[in-house]
Structure 1
Amino acid sequence: MEEKNLYIKIAHWYYTLGMTQDEIAKRLSFTRQKVNRIINSLVDQGIVSITVNGYNTSHVSYESALEEYFHIRRVIIAESYDMENDFLPTLADRAAQFLESFLQTDMTIGVSWGKTLAAVISRLPYKRRSDCTVVQMVGAQNITGDRMLKSDEIARSLANKLDCACYMFYAPTVVDHPETKTMLMKERTIQKSYEWMKQCDVGLFGIGQLTKESTMFQRGFLKEKDISQLQEDGFVGDICMNHVRLDGSWDDNCMENRLNKAGMDILKNIPNVIAVAGGADKTDAIIGCLNSGVVDILIIDDLSAERIVKTLKIS
């Protein structure tokens, strides 16, 4: 399914948008020869006749609009079937389909935490990738109830699905005092965790909104005064617990010296940062994270994609 969707998108780029084979190859990190073979097979596969068949044309339009506007490599839209309040199952299914083919041997994969990521990884099939490595990118959380929301459990679950090694980050997500983080950063085990983060080939993250409905607030990692201060400073959301403003900037964050996570400098150097996100309350958060320049691939539900396109008037 993932391969067919990719071939359909290549058909749209080549035949509808007039992109060259070199441009397509560069966007997908393929060789030109591979792109040429795919294009030559499109008619035989029934994907191309006079028009591009088998794909929601509005999805292709929104995907291309977002890719061009934010200068990101790829946008993948999941069908929500107009279920505004229950989009997560189909979004997670679509993300899992993509990851099944995207994750290759000998990759180092960094993960954060949260409901969306937990749903995605729970849907991934078991696929032996014993030479891969999974890295926990944010500190540990004491969460009651659904333990799969925890960053360490998400990392372990993905490593279990891939049958590979997992490197944990043994530090709390949030500390009360900046001095505590300063001391933790001197520990060799913490320093080693950051060395692993810097080796990641893939980063798999959700995007969080900055409201009282956010998981970070609901689980007690941010207090009401923290939310108020961040909002006053212009922040709208976070990726891997890095708060961003609508324009993508992340400087002068009052929480930065109390959060244990991979910073934006690390995320910027990961070759493949994949963000999975959706929901009406995350529109600004998603826009801010895309404007930050750290995201390479966005997997999003159709209603959220439509909202962003219309908000920015880019269709």
Structure 2
Amino acid sequence: METLKLIKRIAPEVTEIIEKRYLILKSISYNQPIGRRALSNELGMKERTVREEANMLKDQGLLNIDFMGMNITDNGKNVLADLHWIYNGLKGIPDLENALKEELNIKKVIIVPGNSSENRMVLKDMGKITSKILKELLNPKDIVGITGGNTMAVVAEEAVSDKKTRDITVIPARGGLGKTLNTQSNSIAAKLAEQLGGVYRLLYVPDTLEQEALEIMLKNEEIKESIDMINDMNILVFGIGRADTMAKRRNLSEDKIQDLIYGGAVAEAFGHYFDINGKEIWEYKTIGLSLDKFKNLNNVIGVAGGEEKAQAIIAISTLNKDMTLVTDESAAKKILKIAYEATK
């Protein structure tokens, strides 16, 4: 690591070249086959720059270029894997991870370089890392809960099957929310179970129900068994939501949303709205994992990126210190900036 810092200090142009070529290889690996113009737009680089760099990488045997576009070779994949740690070191990611872990006081922090709000490749990386962490945690008979949302949908997509059969069950941690099928917790749970080689259990209820309706629903044996399984889960993978965004997804009135914002709410988890210090502002009765259950889970993976999620991440991190956080560089730097300004 000290060597990388020295290189960065004495030859910054070298680090720029490494970063440029790493991002080109990585983007091609995600989007292949891809043409130079499309890659230029993807990375925000000049097409001439992409052409020159791609030709150099081809000469090194790292890329193939044909009429369909560019593809990464097996040698390119190996180089890309080796470059990952060098790139992270040059970007100062290890130091950033240590600083954020100390600031949030949680079990583990993993940071992906870049901004997932602006670059889907970063979000896909977060999904890959989350699925890797999850696979390392799994034991026979585990019950894995997962929430809904765009980020969790990417986690399920990136949990590439390793062809193993696992004696695990994946279940939605919450009832259904929103109208998009691919981001529903049921759909995500089914997809993740398939990728992990496990089985899944669905929860056939919306996230919000009146108490009377819930009591009727719980008389259904299949729904009752699903709720019981949620209460028995021992691993949770969840997305961290902003209070205003989640309030809109639940179709709360504008007056209520403004009340929450004026009350200091910055984050939502499992129907509970919190201020930046983790103090509960309001609870919206929902179906699924309870807040008490969340606080007592030992294996919790929270995933969120983009600097707009910084306050929400801070708030949710106060609720369970056993949490592993997978985030991006943008959110991490914003969190540390907020913490620094709070001490001035």
TM (norm. structure 1) is: 0.71
Residue type of the partner of 1:68? Answer: E
In structure 2, runs of 5+ residues without a counterpart are: 2-84
In the superposition, relative to structure 1, how do residues 149 and 76 fare at CA in structure 2: closer, same or farther (>3 Å)?
A: same
Indicate which of 84, 104, 108 corresponds to 1:74: 108
1:199 deviates by 2.4
Indicate yes or no: 2:170 matched with 1:134: yes
Whose helix fraction is larger, Structure 1's or Structure 2's?
2
Indicate yes or no: 2:266 matched with 1:236: yes
Q: Distance in 1 between matches of 2:260 and 2:144?
A: 29
Whether the aligned pair in 1 keeps the contact of 2:105 and 2:321 (CA below 8 Å) is no
Partner of 1:265: 292
SS of structure 2 residue aligned to 1:60: helix
1:92 deviates by 2.9
In structure 1, runs of 5+ residues without a counterpart are: 1-7, 9-51
Aligned residues: 254
Partner of 1:156: 190
Partner of 1:200: 233
Q: Distance in 2 between matches of 1:233 and 1:129?
A: 48
Q: Distance in 2 between matches of 1:186 and 1:65?
A: 49
Whether the aligned pair in 1 keeps the contact of 2:88 and 2:94 (CA below 8 Å) is yes
Indicate which of 182, 195, 206 corresponds to 1:172: 206
In the superposition, relative to structure 1, how do residues 186 and 68 fare at CA in structure 2: closer, same or farther (>3 Å)?
A: farther
1:227 deviates by 1.9
Larger-gyration structure (1/2): 2
Indicate yes or no: 2:265 matched with 1:245: no
Residue type of the partner of 1:109? Answer: V
Residue type of the partner of 1:100? Answer: K
Q: Distance in 2 between matches of 1:302 and 1:189?
A: 42
Identity %: 24
Partner of 2:303: 276
Alignment of 1:1-315 (within 5 A): 55-56=88-89, 58-80=92-114, 83=115, 85-100=117-132, 102-103=134-135, 104-106=138-140, 107-127=142-162, 128-141=164-177, 143=179, 146-175=180-209, 177-185=210-218, 188-211=221-244, 214=245, 217=248, 219-250=249-280, 253-255=282-284, 257=285, 259-293=286-320, 296-313=323-340
SS of structure 1 residue aligned to 2:266: strand
Whether the aligned pair in 2 keeps the contact of 1:63 and 1:76 (CA below 8 Å) is yes
Q: Distance in 2 between matches of 1:129 and 1:221?
A: 40
- CA-based RMSD: 2.7
1:188 deviates by 4.4
Q: Deviations over 1:213-266 (max 9, x none)?
A: x2652x45434233233334432112344322211123x6242x3x21311111
In the superposition, relative to structure 1, how do residues 264 and 220 fare at CA in structure 2: closer, same or farther (>3 Å)?
A: closer
Whether the aligned pair in 2 keeps the contact of 1:209 and 1:238 (CA below 8 Å) is yes
Q: Deviations over 1:79-102 (max 9, x none)?
A: 11xx57424431332332342354
Q: Deviations over 1:44-73 (max 9, x none)?
A: xxxxxxxx9664263222211221222211
1:122 deviates by 0.9
Segment of structure 1 superposing worse, 182-191 or 58-67: 182-191
In the superposition, relative to structure 1, how do residues 248 and 101 fare at CA in structure 2: closer, same or farther (>3 Å)?
A: closer
Whether the aligned pair in 1 keeps the contact of 2:171 and 2:186 (CA below 8 Å) is no
